Amino acid sequence: MRDIFEHIFENQPIDPTEAARRNMRPSLRKRFYEAATVSEGEGGFDIRLDGRPVLTPARRPLAAPVRPLAEAIAAEWNVQQNVIDPSAMPLTRLANSIIDGVAPSPAPVAEEIEKYLGTDLLLYRAAEPAALRARQGEHWDPVLAWAAEALGARFVLAEGVIHVAQPGQAVAAVCAAIPAGADVRQAWRLGALHVVTSLTGSGLLALALAAGRLSAEEAWAAAHVDEDWNMDYWGRDELALQRRGDRFAELQAAALVLDALR
C-alpha cells in the first residue's frame, strides 16, 4: 500500500499551483481499497484504508490533529470511484505537504509568508479607472481596518506598482500573528496560511481568513478584484476560469484547516 500511495502523491510540493501541475498524470491508479476510516492514535487521528494505516511519501503517518480534518481527508478517499485522482484530493495533498514539509521545518515557511507583507496585494491600488479603485477599496479596506484594529498594524497605501516601504512596526505586528513553534496544530495552521498567501498574493487576506474575519469566498473574491474587472471589460476566459476553479479548491482545503483549528 505504501508504494502505491507514494507513487500517487510522491514529492508533493507545498505550493498548490505546482502541486496541481505535478498531479496532471496521464494514467491514474485504480482504487485498491474498500473504505477509508479514521482511527485515534498517539499522533492524532490517523487515516486508514481497510484498517491499515497510510503513510505519506516521506513515510510519516497520514494523520490530522483533530477528528473533523481526518474525517474530511477520509471522505476524499471514499468519494474516489474506479481510480484515485489526486487532483480531486486537495486536502490530502495539503496534509502531505504539512506533515512532510511544514512540520519538520516551519521557519522557512513562515518566512515565505512574511515576504509577502512588504508588497501585499491589498496595499497597491490602481491609479485609474476610478471604478476599479473603488472596487479595490470595497474589498480591501475592511481587511486593512481589521489589521489595524486586531493586530495593531497600520500600512501605507501605494498607487500603481512602484514599491513603497512599509512601516517596520506594521510588518512586525503582522508577523507576530503568523503561527510559530513545533506544535502540530500550529504547523497545520502555518501550512494552510502559506497556501492561502500563495494563492491570493496576500498575507493579510490569509490572516483575516484564519481569524474568521473573511469567508473563503470573500477572500477569493478580494484576491481577484483586478482579474474580475478585466473579465468584465474584455470577456470571460473559460480556460482561465477552469484553472481558477482548481485553485479555489486548494484554498477551500486550506480554509477548512484554518476553521477546524481556530
Tens of pLDDT, residue by residue over 198-216, are 999 999 999 999 999 999 9
Residue 122 DSSP class: G
* CATH assignment of the domain containing 217: 1.10.3580.10
Residue 180, pLDDT score: 86
Which residues does 34 contact at the CB level (< 8 Å), separation at least 6? 50
The answer to whether residues 115 and 33 belong to one domain is: no
Does 235 or 249 have the greater pLDDT score?
Answer: 249
The answer to whether residues 84 and 123 belong to one domain is: no
68 near 260, Cβ under 8 Å?
yes
Residue 243, pLDDT score: 92
The answer to whether residues 138 and 222 belong to one domain is: yes
247 near 240, Cβ under 8 Å?
no
The answer to whether residues 111 and 240 belong to one domain is: yes
Query: Does residue 18 surpass a pLDDT of 80?
Result: no
Query: Does residue 20 surpass a pLDDT of 60?
Result: no
Average pLDDT on 170-199 reads 95
Residue 235, pLDDT score: 86
Query: Does residue 4 surpass a pLDDT of 50?
Result: no
The answer to whether residues 34 and 157 belong to one domain is: no
The answer to whether residues 56 and 135 belong to one domain is: no
Q: CA-based angle 190:192:193, to the nearest 5?
A: 65
**215: number of Cβ within 10 Å:** 12
The answer to whether residues 136 and 233 belong to one domain is: yes
Residue 249, pLDDT score: 97
Residue 22, pLDDT score: 53
Residue 8, pLDDT score: 60
* CATH assignment of the domain containing 31: 3.30.2180.10
Buried b (16+ CB within 10 A) or exposed e, 78-102: eebeeebbbeebbbbbbbbbbbbbb
What is the tally of helices (H) and strands (E) in the chain? Answer: 12, 8
Query: Does residue 11 surpass a pLDDT of 60?
Result: no
Average pLDDT on 78-106 reads 96
- Single out the residue in 59, 83, 102 at which a domain terminates: 102
CA distance 161 to 6: 43
Query: Does residue 1 surpass a pLDDT of 50?
Result: no
Query: Does residue 3 surpass a pLDDT of 90?
Result: no
Q: Which residue range is the domain that position 74 belongs to?
A: 2-102
Query: Does residue 236 surpass a pLDDT of 50?
Result: yes
Exposure of 221 in the CB half-sphere (CA atoms within 13 A): 11
Query: Does residue 9 surpass a pLDDT of 80?
Result: no
Average pLDDT on 62-66 reads 97
Burial class of 48 by CB neighbour count within 10 A (0 to 12, 13 to 18, 19+): buried
37 near 19, Cβ under 8 Å?
no
List the end-to-end C-alpha distance of the chain, in Å, as a whole number.
Answer: 33
The answer to whether residues 234 and 190 belong to one domain is: yes
- Single out the residue in 102, 137, 171 at which a domain terminates: 102
How many domains does one find in the chain? 2
Query: Does residue 244 surpass a pLDDT of 90?
Result: yes
CA distance 262 to 213: 12
The answer to whether residues 69 and 114 belong to one domain is: no
Instruction: Give the DSSP per-residue string, 32-77.
Output: --S-EEEEEETTEEEEEETTEE-B-TTS-B-EESSHHHHHHHHHHH
Query: Does residue 14 surpass a pLDDT of 50?
Result: no
The answer to whether residues 17 and 117 belong to one domain is: no
The answer to whether residues 243 and 156 belong to one domain is: yes
